[in-house]
Structure 1
């Protein structure tokens, strides 16, 4: 997880509002998730999620993802879009699980063009959000 200043987290809260979530432990940020949207078509971008190494493997990623997806749904989102690097199997499994919990599948939409040589290209994926009653309780 990239470390940011408390100012950065505060500014993200202002910009992203209910679609910026922080996992805090003992007064320190240990994880975050943020999204953008939804747009007029009901599509929202699940932009980033990160968990500090000392807090991984404890279900915090699933909890943050579920909370952010609930926020997307509460704001009228009907489809979640997410970019995933080809070698990021943990992220792919997380979002496959989120889609499965909503009785749907994570589907590749297409590649995202990379504008910088030092940034790894990613693929855009998406899954639909059915009415809340159709999603499994633990995840979404």
Structure 2
């Protein structure tokens, strides 16, 4: 069974729980159901993060959770997706594996301390609210289907915490986007994306640096982000900016769906 995390001796579960809470707040689902230490997130099928079953408490009991989740997601016309963080017990993972749930999309959560200097970037526009141009460009750059734009825009606009909406331009045209959400001394960076024809030119680095700077100016002491384990280019960039792995997670779905 693939590991969802670094060795438990290297993982502070209280830190994991705090980062998980922040990430849930930063990318809100349209509906949430709490169930015995678990949270079922629902957003009409748009994004796995907002349509998955997540542990809220370390080692939360799993008895009946799968059956309840499968019934709830079926009512919504969705397949059940379990997001496996270090808060999920080994026995819960084994129970899912035993009934044929398969692993996909291993992801790393990385964190960096924010320090003075080295974060300056003058080529990035930062707005406190999303403009229609930003919402459409951000969705398009992230490959969001037109049919999901309304849901995507509503989710972004429902974030209750302080936000930064970043744009980088080339010859006046927006070619890169990023979102940051600040809470309790940490700033989360989400969906840093640059249009394919403009990658490898430093735009991604400029976006990350600008959002880190914004977070620090607002009192954040650390930054965190999520990146797929197979995205070697992004991981190199983040490591160069001081980010290191804190923990990992993956998803599990029924094999026949």
TM range (shorter): 0.5 to 0.7
- Residue of structure 2 in register with 1:77 after alignment: 220
Q: Does 1:95 align with 2:238?
A: yes
| Residue 47 of structure 1: how far off its partner (Å) | 1.3
| Residue 18 of structure 1: how far off its partner (Å) | 5.5
| Residue 23 of structure 1: how far off its partner (Å) | 2.0
Gaps of 5+ in 2: 1-140
| Residue 114 of structure 1: how far off its partner (Å) | 3.0
Structure 2 CA distance for partners of 1:76 and 1:115, relative to 1, 3 Å: farther
Residue 246 (structure 2) aligned to one of 93, 105, 109: 109
| Residue 24 of structure 1: how far off its partner (Å) | 3.0
Does 1 or 2 have the higher relative contact order (CA < 8 Å, sep 6+)?
A: 2
Q: Does 1:2 align with 2:142?
A: yes
TM-score by length of 2: 0.36
Which has the larger Rg?
2
- Residue of structure 2 in register with 1:66 after alignment: 209
- Residue of structure 1 in register with 2:165 after alignment: 20
* 8 Å Cα contact 2:164/2:181 also seen in 1: yes
> Secondary structure of the residue that 1:57 maps to in structure 2?
coil
Separation in structure 2 between the aligned mates of residue 74 and residue 24 of structure 1, nearest angstrom:
23
- Residue of structure 2 in register with 1:33 after alignment: 178
* 8 Å Cα contact 1:35/1:48 also seen in 2: no
